[in-house]
Amino acid sequence: MHKISIKHINHRNKDRIAVFFKKDSSLIIKLKSLEYKWSNTKKCWYCDDNLQNLKILNNELKNNYELVFDKEIIAKYSTKAKHTEKILKKYRAQLEIKRYSIHTIKVYTTYFKRFAEHFKTKDIDELSKEDIKNYMFLLLKHENIGGSAQNQIINSIKFYYEKVINRPKELYELDRPRKGRTLPKVLSEKEIFALLKSLSNIKHKAIVGILYSSGLRMSELINLRISDISFEKKIIFVSQAKGKKDRITLLADNIIKILETYMQEYKPNYWLFESPNRGKYSSTSVNKILKSAACKAGIKKNVSAHMLRHSFATHLLEQGVDIRYIQELLGHSSPKTTQIYTYVSNSSLANLTSPLDNNTAFNNMNE
């Protein structure tokens, strides 16, 4: 196995990671693909010195080469890694104190860890607004991240500066990407009926039926307790949903019958839908049910729990339900979020007439 020496150097007044090795054309091609450059003065291939680049180099070469890191790199990154771990521990603790959801904590911590590791040669507490914007520019350039991911990354960084080390908000205001409008994908009422009809398992039918008839998110469904269902009042109590808000949504008459049969047969203990070990039902299992049902029903769309939620809202709108009630049922903070369904509702288009159909001359031409 060929030996490669990896060292820290200063080149053109910047810290670099330098790679030294005997001539190897395949390795040169690999380094070029990783955007390493050749230095005639140092006689080595090099890149910017940061932990992310070091990790990429290690992951790409460790299986085919013997990597030898110099003492300076080992000392530098072992010390920095410990410091980063302390920062991340403090960061996560603050997210938990602020009662962010488990999902948000995971996403924010992942993005912020990458950010902190990128600036291994700098104290992140001293970074400028330009440093942060340049970091975002690099992500946009090399990873082609979308608007939603970009917003999450920005929010994860802002959380550290504003909530962990209490810096003023205005000092770290960042440009936000314009969010493109993507219309929600929905199923027709006929497709919903076909989906439910394809399910012979009563538990699966209850799961899919509640997702559609109550407009629940996946996380809300798997967190439902038996006590959250009121058969008498025909409502479902959604506890501490997105944004840590409680709300009430509909329990359809047809679902009541299915739920009662399911509960008599499966006898759930605490959670409405339980796994075999009496824990919460998993989102993976729900997705498998939806994929299988869609296949059996001959539906070519990529059916998901959120598509059923979109369908619930759209069909209510088509029935003439006031959009403010739909907003409450879905748990949206802003009516603007709910208004997206007006763009996919068939009833909003049904009363419109194309200008071509109003053209008398054209009608006479076809006679």
270 classed as catalytic: no
Catalytic residue among 120, 204, 247, 332: 332
The verdict on whether 108 is a catalytic residue reads no
Active site residue 111: no
- Residue partners of 315: CB distance under 8 A and separation at least 6: 189
Give me the catalytic one of 80, 114, 163, 306: 306
* Torsion sign, CA atoms 213, 217, 222, 224: negative
Is residue 92 flagged as an active site residue?
no
Look up 217 and say whether it is catalytic.
yes
Is residue 309 flagged as an active site residue?
Answer: yes
> Which tokens in the block code for residue 312?
């619930």
Per the residue annotation, which of 113, 167, 217, 296 is the catalytic one? 217
Catalytic-labelled residue, pool 76, 309, 310, 315: 309
Residue partners of 96: CB distance under 8 A and separation at least 6: 105
- The rounded distance, in Å, linking the Cα atoms of 294 and 301 is 8
CA atoms within 13 A on the CB side of 299: 24
| Count of alpha carbons within 13 angstroms of residue 149, beta-carbon side | 9
> Of 242, 266, 280, 296, which residue is the catalytic one?
242
Of 157, 158, 180, 154, nearest in space to 168 by CA: 158
> Of 24, 36, 120, 32, which is closest to residue 66 (Cα–Cα)?
24
R_g of the chain, CA atoms, integer Å: 28
Residues with catalytic annotation?
A: 217, 242, 306, 309, 332, 341
